Amino acid sequence: MADYKQLIEKQRAFFATGKTRNIEFRIEQLKKLRQVVIEKHRDVEASLYKDLKKCEFEAFATEVTAMIDEINGAVENLESWTKPVEVSTSPLFGQAESTIYYEPYGTVLILNTWNYPFVLCFKPMVGALAAGNCCIVKPSEVAPATSKVLADIINTAFDEEYCVAIECGVEGTTELLKERFDFILYTGSTNVGRIVAQAAARHLTPTALELGGKSPCIVDKSADIERSVASICWGKFINAGQTCVAPDYIWVHKDVKDKLIDALKNQISAFYGDDIKNNADFGRIINRRRFEQLLTLMKEGNIVFGGETDESRLFISPTIIDGITWDSKIMQEEVFGPILPVMTFENMEEVVKTLAGREKPLALYLYTTDKEVESLIINRVSYGGGCVNATLMHMLNTNLPFGGVGNSGHGFYQGKWSIETFSHKKCILNRALTDDPSPLFPPYADHVKMLKQMYLG
């Protein structure tokens, strides 16, 4: 465990050389990483299949391409993203200019999760490196095959004094968190997020926590049901429902519930056919522990579609459960699987008031054609981010910040927003050395009238 301290000291020494502050150096390193990923993308796809049975399309489209897009955006825009920003200066300070400089923190620790183990590791890492930091990356041991490939890619692309991947379990992560970092980003559960936050607090280390929660999918009575169900099913059942921003439950207006459920059934069949267990496009549960946890969530309510399971293959079919209330066990925790509970509401004020009394979700999805309903939900309900008449797509748009609020986390990343997160905003006021005294300097008697005229009119 002493090696962790030595490794961090080595990275601090490298950071102190100033090399990572050079924009050309950062771009060169990102290009090097991109090339290694392109060369090893087949290994990435194979590891994702081994860990999660992700089909080739899901592995490449949601993990590999998203990471390459992140690098491309940084390479093309890094100079403008990191350019010092000039802001206005009050005449109270005399002749002066005010500027904000983006300064890297130093050594960043990135703790990764298992459900999208490639892209959710590399996206924040790319942002941290683009901002000029050194990085220590800890892939998730829950997805061991992908963890191995991740470590191989990172440690092939970089020297450990700059960026390194460490494979370890819970004990090793606990030891890592005892060390002092300059910034920590963690993606995963709220419970572990609290542990990370407590460890960071010992050193007053700033953090970004990308957590989870019960993300609602609200279907208004004005929604175009037939055109909505494809995106709902895609967002819910991609990666076998193991997506932090997946619709956790459907909350539908009572007048269109039956129509929606029928349309969902038809759409699931259209996506995956009648023999879903043997459909290569549908993934599997990460491990037996999660499989058993999901089974307990299927014991309440009425299964109106799906419900097929196979423990030997860690398979749970896309499942719709009706007859669910807020008191049901499935509504007490994040589902994180291919199980979709359905509840009904009577009016949007009921939705707004109920959500205001619950933990803030990472995402919210609204299906409506009513602009007043859209405005009501966007302006009165607090959540990390989301979509109107779509699911998941806000997270895939690198021009939007991704992050939670309240219990679903804090901080954000993606594109230029990663520069905001992984940089200290150093503010400088540069005052001209003139003979004109500042109205802040004594004696004050001569300045009072001028100041009151300036501020009070």
Residues with catalytic annotation? Answer: 210, 244
Does an H or E element contain 339, and which?
strand 339-345
**Residues in a beta bridge with 101:** 426
Question: Length of the chain, please?
Answer: 457
With b meaning 16 or more CB within 10 Å and e meaning fewer, what string describes 212-233? Answer: bbbbbbbbbbebebeebbebbb
Q: 């939670």: which residue's tokens?
A: 404
Q: How far apart (Å, rounded) are the C-alpha atoms in residues 117 and 52?
A: 10
Quote the tokens at residue 444. Answer: 């004050």
Helix (H, G, I), strand (E, B) or coil at 398: coil
**Euclidean distance between the first and the last CA atom of the chain, given in angstroms as a whole number:** 65
Q: How far apart (Å, rounded) are the C-alpha atoms in residues 71 and 56?
A: 21
Between the CA atoms of 106, 413, 53 and 238, what dihedral angle is there, to the nearest 10 degrees? 170
Q: What DSSP letter does each residue of 167-190 carry, written as one string? A: ---HHHHHHHTTS--SEEEEES-H
Quote the tokens at residue 61. Answer: 């489209």
Helix (H, G, I), strand (E, B) or coil at 280: coil
